[in-house]
Amino acid sequence: MRHAVYYAPAPASLFHKLGSTWLGRDAFSGEAVAQPPVEGIREATMVPARYGLHATLKAPSTLNPDMRRIDFGDAVALVAAQMDVVTIARLELREIDGFLALVPERQEPDLTQLAEFCLRALDSFRVPASEDELRARRAENLTLHQDELMLRWGYPYVLDEFRFHITLTRKLHGAERQHFMAAARQHFAPVIGHELAVDALTVFADSRFSPSFVVEERFPLREATKLRAAS
């Protein structure tokens, strides 16, 4: 069983509804959702649907057998209690290495800091990457620096290689790019070009019975807690 710490929009939000509909799966309920009538969308979204709508802050890893799951949750809660909400000024739709993703117009330094805090504070809870995992990652043609990060942290896209992104498709080819770019731009029109509050750390997990990830816990970041208390 693997656990990850992601950004995921609140389950009652429009963004969550749009993302779950696009992917055909709600990671909070674990249930299938009807997708928009876009040709080929089910196959194009099958891989990201497995993980649910999210942006990675701490990549999936197997929990260290010397650690308890309840202690991992407490550690995530402590991180959340020490970090402020990060506001992305403008969300954009882009193609990244062939797949579509929603990304900040500009990478906020506070986003990088949040991801680094999660990485360092929670690293002791993970089992080191296996040889099979290392081999699979190296098939992605990592740079030497990314390979070094993977060996140290279990994931190559951390620290100075971290880029906040919400994956929407598998890697696309040829005319698919324009087809799905147009469809995604229309589907996510209510959030593209608008600000986004990264307001919570959400623990996702898979299981021995299913490769799909579901939400286990959601911890508000510091300013979100203050706003709720004041309301």
166-167 and 99-104: which strand pairing?
antiparallel
Confidence of residue 168 (pLDDT cuts 50, 70, 90): very high
* pLDDT tens-digit readout, 53-107: 999 999 999 999 999 999 999 999 999 999 999 999 999 999 999 999 999 999 9
pLDDT at site 157: 95
pLDDT at site 227: 43
pLDDT at site 53: 97
* pLDDT tens-digit readout, 94-128: 999 999 999 999 998 999 999 999 999 999 999 99
107: tokens are: 């990478």
pLDDT at site 229: 40
Residue in 16, 75, 21, 14 with CA at minimum distance from that of residue 215: 16
pLDDT at site 207: 77
Q: With pLDDT > 70 as the criterion, what percentage of the chain qualifies?
A: 97
166-167 and 196-198: which strand pairing?
unpaired
Confidence of residue 225 (pLDDT cuts 50, 70, 90): very low
Average pLDDT over residues 131-142: 86
Average pLDDT, the chain: 93
pLDDT at site 178: 96
Domain 2-230, CATH among 3.40.50.1170, 3.50.50.60, 3.90.1140.10, 3.20.20.70: 3.90.1140.10
pLDDT at site 139: 80
pLDDT at site 137: 85
200: tokens are: 């919570």
Each residue of 162-201: b (16+ CB within 10 Å) or e? Answer: bebbbbbbbebeeebbebbbebbeebbeebeeeebbbbbb
